[in-house]
Amino acid sequence: MNKTRCGYAGIVGRPNVGKSTLLNHLMGTKLSITSRKPQTTRINLIGISTRDQTQIIFVDTPGLLSLGPDPSGRKINRYMSNQAMAAVADVDLAVLLIDARGWTEADETVLTLIKREDVTAICGINKIDRLVRKDLLLPLINEIQDKHAFEAIIPMSALHRQGLDDLSIEIARLMPEGPHLFDSDALTDRPLVFLVAEAIREKLMRQLGDELPHRTTVVVERYDAGEILTEVDAVIYVERQSQKAIVIGRGGKRLKAIGQEARGNIEDLAGGKVMLNLWVKVQPGWSNNDELLTRFGYR
């Protein structure tokens, strides 16, 4: 009889390199929100994949830029850095994701953390579909090999699902022997209201793009699952009155569009019809306030 395997695989890397897209495609379902805006992920998100005798507990982490104090001094940024660093310290395997267009100083920062924690690692070279000159891939692989003794280096495109089978095989191979920690049908350890809030935040980011105030968050105040209809009350918090106007939009059109788009995702999560009520409130300095960070779920 084959022995069971189970372990944590942390997907780590600098901001906006495709970690959340990779998690979603490895899981075969949308768990982590994605956008083109850097540092979309703020909280470590676990995705549980059980296939036959192997259970892989993926950890999607915020992008890491520095191992030292954040220059802005914002507590929310410090929290995100701590989340990423804690994940590397606790996983059985680090999947370092980099951009195929070249190794950067930020990649070196993440590799420094991997070396410091002495964690087994593989490297995924993402976004190979964006390479104008394919002949640059081999020199990049050679450069990475000189930097660290990775268990494997895999060129891939998370968006187009290229190379993901090879990556999955390597991750499964490196999982330690041991009993499964979750039921075989479990997908995440996060509560449903967390996923609902994240679904709203994703649509917020996509609707506003570069207009989006970075210090914006979403809190679900009420989630009432009925037999026919699930009612959700959620608040979008910003730090200034001018930001509130941006989120609401002229005549409330932008907030309405955010709600309409988010409702479809929430209905998928809830498994039925949803009434979503959205409000925008100003909470000055929430991103640098310990009490509010705790209240908003960042502790």
Q: Distance (Å, rounded) from C-alpha 182 to C-alpha 203?
A: 30
Q: Which architecture, in CATH terms, is 5-173?
A: 3-Layer(aba) Sandwich (3.40)
pLDDT in tens, 35-56: 666 666 666 788 999 998 999 9
- Which tokens is 25 given? 């495609």
pLDDT at position 38 is: 60
pLDDT at position 114 is: 93
pLDDT at position 89 is: 86
CA-wise closest residue to 47 among 77, 87, 101: 87
10-residue stretch averages of pLDDT, the chain, 299 residues long: 88 90 89 67 81 93 66 66 80 96 92 94 95 90 96 94 94 96 90 90 83 79 92 94 91 93 91 94 89 81
> Residue length, the chain?
299
Q: Determine which helix (DSSP H) or strand (DSSP E) holds 9, and give its type and residue range.
A: strand 5-12
CATH of range 192-295; options 3.30.300.20, 3.20.20.140, 3.20.20.100, 3.30.460.10? 3.30.300.20
Q: Phi then psi for 269, rounded to 5 degrees?
A: -70, -40
pLDDT in tens, 141-168: 999 999 999 999 999 999 899 999 999 9
pLDDT at position 41 is: 65
Q: What is the DSSP string of 134-202?
A: GGGHHHHHHHHHHH---S-EEE-BTTTTBSHHHHHHHHHHTSPB---SS-TT---SS-HHHHHHHHHHH
> Coil, helix or strand for 62?
coil
pLDDT at position 68 is: 58
pTM, to two decimals: 0.85
pLDDT at position 263 is: 94
Q: Distance (Å, rounded) from C-alpha 199 to C-alpha 262?
A: 6
Domain ranges within the chain, ordered by starting residue: 5-173, 192-295
